[in-house]
C-alpha cells in the first residue's frame, strides 16, 4: 500500500470511530448525526497532519453543545384552554463570540433538529468573519391558524423563561421558520418589560426599535450573490439562467427578487402543499403578490395559480422541472438522491442551498459526483446571520446605517465567504465548496478553542 493510501485508510478509520461515538452519544437524533458527519468528513482529511487538533480533542468537543436548555411553555388559547408546548435553546459554541442563531416555531421542532442547526450555525457564523458563536432555539408550536393574540401570549410565555439565558453579550437569538417580524416584536417587548433594559438582545427587530435595514432581504439576496460568485468563478454568469426555487417564505421570495434583479428567471416557488410553476418566469409584481399571500395573508401557494393565468399548481416538489440552477429555500431534507438525479439529467448545473441542509446526504453525493456546482447552506445562506451581526454592531454603537451601505457590506461579505471557500476547497478547475466552507468555518473556531485550553 502506498503512503498516501495508508494515510487515507487511517483517516477513514478515525472518521468511522469518531462517528460511532457521536451516534452512541446522540441516540434518536438523526439530523444532528447527519450534520456532524457532513462536517467531520471534510475536516478529518484536513487535520490528518495537524496533531494538535487531535490531541486537544477539538472535534469531540465541537460536537457537544456547551448547553442545551429545554423548558415548558404554557399559554392560553382564545377559548381559554391552557396549552403546553416545549421550548429549547441550544447554546452550541461561544468560542468566537456570543451564541447567535434563530428561533424556529414549527410542529416538527425537536432537540435533534435544533442541535443540527446550532452545530451548523457555529461554522456559518465563523465564515461571516464577524465575532459570533453558534446557537439555535425554538418550540414545537405551530403558529399557523393561531390568532395574533394567541401568538403574542405564546411568545410572551416563551420569553418569560428564555430571558434568563440570553443577553446582548451572551446569546442573541433571531427569527427562523415561523418566527418573523411579528414574533420578534412580541419577544423583544416581553424581554424589555421583564429586564427593564433596551438592548440588542434579538435581531430581526422592527425599524422603529433597533432593526437593521437589509436584514429581511439578506438571506435570499445573499444566496443569489453566492450563486453568481460560484458561476463567475467557473467562467459563467447568472444572467439568463432559469432557476428553480422552493419555499415561498422570506428566503425564497427574496431569492426570487434578487434573481430578477440580476437578469435570471425564477420559474418555481413552493410551500408544504405543493409548488407553482411559471414557465415565463415570475415577474416582480407576482413575487410581491406571493410575499403578501404568504406573509400578512398567511395563504397557500396554490392560490397563485388561481390569480395568474400563466402560473400552474402541482403537488409535490419542483425538482422535476427543467432549469439551469436550483435554490432550495424551504426546509431541511427537501431534495433526495432520486430528485438530484433528475435535476442532473435535466441539466441543472449549479445548486445553492439557501435553506438549512435542504439536500439529503445522497443528493449531495450525487451533485458532487456529477460535477454540479454545489454551494452548501452554511456558506450560501450566511448573509442572513451576517446582517444580523451588523444589526448587533449598530445596536451596540446606537447608530443606524443606510440601505446602500448595508447592501454593499452584504455583497462584500458574500464575496469574502465565497473566496474563503475557494481558498480551502480549490480543486483544479472545480471548487469543492462543501470542503472549503467546512474547513474555513472550522479553522477560526478550532484555533480559538486551542487558545482557551480545556474549556
Ligand atoms: P419561512 O417560514 O418564511 O418560510 C418557510 C417556507 O418553507 C414556507 O414556504 C413553508 O411553507 C415552506 N416549508 C416549511 N416546511 C416545509 C416542508 N416540510 N415541506 C415543504 N415546504 C415547507 O422561513 P424562511 O424563509 O425564513 O426559512 C427557510 C429556510 O431558510 C429554513 O431552512 C431556514 O432555517 C433557512 N434560513 C433562514 C434564514 C432567514 O434569514 N430567514 C437565515 C438562514 C437560513 P408553508 O407555508 O406551507 O409552511
Residue nearest to atom 2 of ligand 1 (CA): 177
**pLDDT of 5 strictly over 90:** no
Q: Which of 124, 331, 358, 359 to mutate to test the pocket of ligand 1 (most atoms within 8 A of CB)?
A: 331
Give 203's pLDDT tier (boundaries 50, 70, 90).
very high
- Considering only CA atoms, which of 443, 435, 440, 444 is closest in space to residue 39? 435
Residue nearest to atom 20 of ligand 1 (CA): 272
Q: Which of 355, 382, 414 to mutate to test the pocket of ligand 1 (most atoms within 8 A of CB)?
A: 355
**Region 184-198 average pLDDT:** 98
Q: Do domains 67-200 and 217-375 have the same CATH topology?
A: yes
Residue nearest to atom 41 of ligand 1 (CA): 176
Q: What are phi and psi of 398, to 5 degrees?
A: 50, 50
Q: How far apart are CA 409 and CA 279, in angstroms?
A: 34
**Which ligand 1 atom minimizes the distance to the CA of 251?**
25
Going from the Cα of 308 to the center of ligand 1, the distance in angstroms, rounded, reads 23
Return the higher-pLDDT residue of 5 and 348. Answer: 348
**pLDDT of 328 strictly over 60:** yes
**Which ligand 1 atom minimizes the distance to the CA of 175?**
41
Ligand 1 neighbours, Cβ below 6 Å, are 175-178, 219, 247-252, 270-273, 294, 329-331, 334, 354-356, 381, 384
Half-sphere exposure of 235 (CA within 13 A, CB side): 2
- The answer to whether residue 136 is catalytic is yes
Q: How far apart are CA 322 and CA 442, in angstroms?
A: 36
Going from the Cα of 328 to the center of ligand 1, the distance in angstroms, rounded, reads 10
Going from the Cα of 120 to the center of ligand 1, the distance in angstroms, rounded, reads 16
| Each residue's pLDDT tens digit, 106-142 | 999 999 999 999 999 999 999 999 999 999 999 999 9
Going from the Cα of 329 to the center of ligand 1, the distance in angstroms, rounded, reads 6
Residue 393 has a pLDDT of 97
Q: How far apart are CA 66 and CA 77, in angstroms?
A: 34
Residue 4 has a pLDDT of 64
Give 6's pLDDT tier (boundaries 50, 70, 90).
confident
Question: Is residue 180 exposed (0-12), middle (13-18) or buried (19+ Cβ within 10 Å)?
Answer: middle
Residue 455 has a pLDDT of 87
Give 429's pLDDT tier (boundaries 50, 70, 90).
confident
Which residues pair with residue 68 across a beta bridge?
A: 90
Going from the Cα of 326 to the center of ligand 1, the distance in angstroms, rounded, reads 16
- Residue 412 vs residues 22, 235, 355, 371, 391: alpha-carbon distances, Å: 36, 20, 21, 27, 16
Whether CATH 3.40.50.10860 fits 67-200: yes
**pLDDT of 7 strictly over 90:** no
Return the higher-pLDDT residue of 454 and 128. Answer: 128
**Region 30-44 average pLDDT:** 95
**Which ligand 1 atom minimizes the distance to the CA of 253?**
25
Residue nearest to atom 18 of ligand 1 (CA): 272
Residue nearest to atom 29 of ligand 1 (CA): 355
Task: Judge contact between 327 and 223, C-beta under 8 A.
Answer: yes
| Each residue's pLDDT tens digit, 378-414 | 999 999 999 999 999 999 999 999 999 999 999 999 9
Going from the Cα of 385 to the center of ligand 1, the distance in angstroms, rounded, reads 15
Which among 100, 115, 124, 136 is annotated as catalytic?
Answer: 136
**Which ligand 1 atom minimizes the distance to the CA of 382?**
43
Going from the Cα of 246 to the center of ligand 1, the distance in angstroms, rounded, reads 9
Q: Which of 330, 379, 437 to mutate to test the pocket of ligand 1 (most atoms within 8 A of CB)?
A: 330
Give 2's pLDDT tier (boundaries 50, 70, 90).
low
**pLDDT of 58 strictly over 90:** yes
What is the SS3 assignment for 327? Answer: strand
**Which ligand 1 atom minimizes the distance to the CA of 385?**
42
Residue nearest to atom 28 of ligand 1 (CA): 330
| Each residue's pLDDT tens digit, 217-252 | 999 999 999 999 999 999 999 999 999 999 999 999
pLDDT above 70 covers what percent of the chain? 99
| Each residue's pLDDT tens digit, 263-311 | 999 999 999 999 999 999 999 999 999 999 998 898 999 999 999 999 9
Collect all residues with Cβ–Cβ distance below 8 Å to 122 and sequence separation of at least 6.
62, 92, 93, 133, 134, 441, 445
- Name the grid cell of 78: 382564545
- Considering only CA atoms, which of 104, 108, 76, 64 is closest in space to residue 88? 104
Q: H-helix or E-strand containing 102? A: strand 99-105
Round the average pLDDT of the chain to a whole number and report it. Answer: 96
Give 184's pLDDT tier (boundaries 50, 70, 90).
very high
Going from the Cα of 55 to the center of ligand 1, the distance in angstroms, rounded, reads 40
Strands 268-271 and 242-245 turn out to be unpaired
Strands 242-245 and 312-314 turn out to be unpaired
The DSSP letter of residue 93 is E
Q: How far apart are CA 298 and CA 180, in angstroms?
A: 12
Residue extents of the structural domains in the chain? 67-200, 217-375
Query: Per residue, what are the HEC states of 42-83?
Result: HHHHHHCCCHHHHHCCHHHHHCCCCEEEEEEEEEECCCCCEE
Q: Which own/partner contact pairs does 24-27 have at CB distance under 8 Å and 24+ positions apart?
A: 25/64, 26/112, 26/115
Q: What is the largest CA-CA distance in the chain?
A: 72
Sheet with 325-327, edge to edge strand ranges: 265-266, 242-245, 325-327, 350-352, 373-375
**CATH architecture of the domain with range 217-375:** 3-Layer(aba) Sandwich (3.40)
Residue 290 has a pLDDT of 98
Residue 1 has a pLDDT of 56
- Name the grid cell of 337: 438522491
pTM summary value: 0.93
Collect all residues with Cβ–Cβ distance below 8 Å to 286 and sequence separation of at least 6.
278, 304, 308, 311
Residue 428 has a pLDDT of 74
Collect all residues with Cβ–Cβ distance below 8 Å to 394 and sequence separation of at least 6.
200, 210, 212, 400, 401
Q: Which of 137, 219, 251 to mutate to test the pocket of ligand 1 (most atoms within 8 A of CB)?
A: 251
Half-sphere exposure of 66 (CA within 13 A, CB side): 19
**Region 28-39 average pLDDT:** 95
Amino acid at each position: 500500500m502506498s503512503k498516501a493510501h495508508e494515510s487515507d485508510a487511517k483517516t477513514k478509520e478515525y472518521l468511522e470511530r469518531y462517528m460511532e461515538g457521536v451516534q452512541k452519544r446522540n441516540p434518536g437524533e438523526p439530523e444532528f448525526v447527519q450534520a456532524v458527519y457532513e462536517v467531520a468528513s471534510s475536516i478529518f482529511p484536513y487535520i490528518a497532519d495537524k496533531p494538535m487538533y487531535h490531541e486537544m480533542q477539538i472535534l469531540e468537543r465541537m460536537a457537544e453543545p456547551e448547553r442545551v436548555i429545554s423548558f415548558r411553555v404554557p399559554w392560553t388559547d382564545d377559548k381559554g384552554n391552557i396549552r403546553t408546548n416545549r421550548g429549547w435553546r441550544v447554546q452550541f459554541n461561544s468560542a468566537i463570540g456570543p451564541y447567535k442563531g434563530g428561533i424556529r416555531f414549527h410542529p416538527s421542532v425537536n432537540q435533534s433538529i435544533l442541535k443540527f442547526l446550532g452545530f451548523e450555525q457555529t461554522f456559518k457564523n465563523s465564515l461571516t468573519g464577524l465575532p459570533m458563536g453558534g446557537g439555535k432555539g425554538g418550540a414545537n408550536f405551530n403558529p399557523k391558524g393561531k390568532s395574533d393574540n394567541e401568538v403574542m401570549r405564546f411568545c410572551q410565555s416563551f420569553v418569560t423563561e428564555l430571558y434568563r439565558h440570553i443577553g446582548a453579550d451572551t446569546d442573541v437569538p433571531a427569527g427562523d421558520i415561523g418566527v418573523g417580524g411579528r414574533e420578534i416584536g412580541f419577544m423583544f417587548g416581553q424581554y424589555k418589560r421583564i429586564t427593564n433594559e433596551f438592548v440588542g438582545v434579538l435581531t430581526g427587530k422592527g425599524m422603529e426599535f433597533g432593526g437593521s435595514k437589509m436584514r429581511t432581504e439578506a438571506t435570499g439576496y445573499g444566496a443569489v450573490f453566492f450563486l453568481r460568485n460560484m458561476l463567475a468563478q467557473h467562467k459563467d454568469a447568472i444572467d439568463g439562467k432559469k432557476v428553480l426555487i422552493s419555499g415561498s417564505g422570506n428566503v425564497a421570495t427574496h431569492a426570487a427578487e434578487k434573481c430578477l434583479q440580476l437578469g435570471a428567471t425564477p420559474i418555481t416557488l413552493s410551500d408544504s402543499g405543493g409548488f407553482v410553476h411559471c414557465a415565463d418566469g415570475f415577474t416582480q409584481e407576482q413575487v410581491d403578490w406571493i410575499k403578501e399571500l404568504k406573509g400578512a395573508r398567511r395563504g397557500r401557494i396554490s392560490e397563485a395559480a388561481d390569480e395568474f393565468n400563466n402560473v400552474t399548481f402541482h403537488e409535490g416538489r419542483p425538482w422535476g422541472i427543467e432549469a439551469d440552477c436550483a435554490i432550495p429555500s424551504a426546509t431541511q431534507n427537501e431534495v433526495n438522491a432520486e430528485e438530484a438525479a433528475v435535476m442532473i439529467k435535466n441539466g441543472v448545473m449549479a445548486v445553492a442551498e439557501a435553506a438549512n441542509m435542504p439536500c439529503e446526504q445522497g443528493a449531495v453525493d450525487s451533485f458532487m459526483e456529477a460535477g454540479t456546482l454545489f454551494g452548501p447552506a452554511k456558506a450560501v445562506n450566511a448573509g442572513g446571520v451576517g446582517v444580523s451581526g451588523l444589526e448587533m454592531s449598530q445596536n451596540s454603537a446606537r447608530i443606524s446605517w443606510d440601505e446602500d451601505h448595508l447592501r454593499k457590506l452584504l455583497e462584500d461579505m458574500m464575496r469574502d465567504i465565497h473566496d474563503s471557500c475557494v481558498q480551502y476547497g480549490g480543486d483544479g478547475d472545480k471548487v469543492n465548496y462543501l470542503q472549503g466552507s467546512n474547513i474555513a468555518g472550522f479553522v477560526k473556531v478550532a484555533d480559538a478553542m486551542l487558545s482557551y485550553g480545556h474549556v
